């Protein structure tokens, strides 16, 4: 009975004091517009409260979670966020839906941040694995290609490692004159592969869609290479490997970047932002 009376007393005390009972007490904290109590150190020079920056990565997202002697503690900024802060988009996996979602989100964000060029590094086997097994759909690559043309900033493309199939198509969709390849990259052209299973009628429907996707992909490559569509369709009818110099001659890229050709700034922008 005494325990129940004690619990009732605690509940009544909380009810009378409201949510302020759980707010940080003492000096050194201020209330953000969202209602979150944050340290006074997070105030800007003009007096307004600091707001998180999406591009700066995980460190800024840790605000309001853990502090030591008034200083926020959190994980360091993740590498994709640091690259994004320098307007770099890196495709390093096959074009599956999760990868496409991230790439499109990064392009759309950079579109509204600035009109400065975006550099897209491509090291991908496209919609297949390196062994040729289908893992994605060509519509994933079409979505990225459409957004590359939709955003205001020009997208510069750089091939490294491998750019197979749909990834080679994305390489060709960079801004004309700014499509590059590192000296030991391999570029491959091939047809889309069907993942159709089931009844014959379903397979026939899927085959029709695969043929349409092949046409679209070849049209995009043809527009990037300034070649007739029928010629590109013929070249993609069988697997065709292109070394960087051959890709330049084909019109897929504009230039091979030699090892001594330094095109990126030596001082990352995020280091200046942290100072």
Structure confidence by residue, pLDDT tens digits, 50-102: 554 444 444 444 444 566 666 666 666 678 788 888 999 999 999 999 999 99
Q: Tokens standing for 34?
A: 């969202």
Domains and CATH numbers, the chain: 36-77 (no CATH), 79-256 (3.90.226.10)
Q: Do the Cβ atoms of 89 and 118 come closer than 8 Å?
A: yes
Predicted local distance difference test score (pLDDT) of residue 132:
73
Confidence of residue 33 (pLDDT cuts 50, 70, 90): low
**Alpha-carbon dihedral angle through residues 210, 212, 213, 215, given to the nearest 10 degrees:** 130
Q: Dump pLDDT digits (tens) for 195-228.
A: 656 677 777 777 788 788 889 999 999 999 999 9
Q: Is residue 11's pLDDT more than 70?
A: no
Q: Do the Cβ atoms of 150 and 103 come closer than 8 Å?
A: no
Number of neighbours of residue 240 by Cβ within 10 angstroms: 15
Q: Dump pLDDT digits (tens) for 169-188.
A: 999 999 999 999 999 999 99
Q: How far apart are CA 256 and CA 275, in angstroms?
A: 35
What are the DSSP E strand ranges found in the chain? 29-31, 37-39, 67-68, 71-72, 88-91, 118-124, 155-164, 179-181, 186-189, 240-242, 255-256
């Amino acid at each position: 009975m005494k325990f129940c009376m004690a619990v009732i007393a605690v509940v009544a005390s909380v009810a009378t004091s409201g949510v302020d009972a759980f707010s940080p007490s003492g000096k050194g904290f201020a209330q953000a517009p969202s209602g979150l109590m944050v340290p006074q150190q997070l105030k800007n020079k003009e007096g307004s409260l600091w707001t998180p920056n999406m591009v700066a990565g995980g460190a800024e997202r840790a605000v309001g979670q853990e502090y030591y002697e008034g200083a926020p503690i959190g994980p360091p900024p993740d590498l994709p966020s640091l690259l994004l802060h320098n307007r770099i988009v890196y495709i390093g996996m096959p074009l599956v839906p999760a990868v496409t979602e991230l790439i499109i989100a990064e392009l759309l964000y950079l579109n509204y941040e600035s009109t400065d060029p975006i550099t897209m590094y491509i090291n991908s086997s496209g919609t297949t694995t390196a062994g040729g097994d289908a893992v994605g759909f060509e519509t994933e690559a079409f979505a990225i290609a459409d957004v590359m043309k939709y955003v205001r900033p020009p997208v510069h493309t750089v091939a490294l490692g491998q750019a197979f199939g749909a990834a080679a198509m994305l390489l060709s969709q960079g801004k004309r004159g700014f499509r590059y390849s590192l000296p030991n990259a391999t570029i491959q052209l091939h047809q889309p592969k069907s993942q159709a299973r089931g009844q014959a009628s379903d397979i026939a429907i899927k085959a029709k869609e695969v043929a349409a996707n092949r046409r679209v992909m070849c049209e995009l490559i043809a527009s990037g290479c300034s070649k007739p569509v029928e010629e590109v369709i013929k070249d993609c009818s069988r697997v065709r490997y292109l070394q960087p110099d051959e890709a330049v001659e084909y019109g897929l890229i504009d230039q091979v970047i030699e090892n001594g050709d330094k095109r990126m700034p030596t001082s990352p922008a995020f280091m200046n932002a942290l100072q």
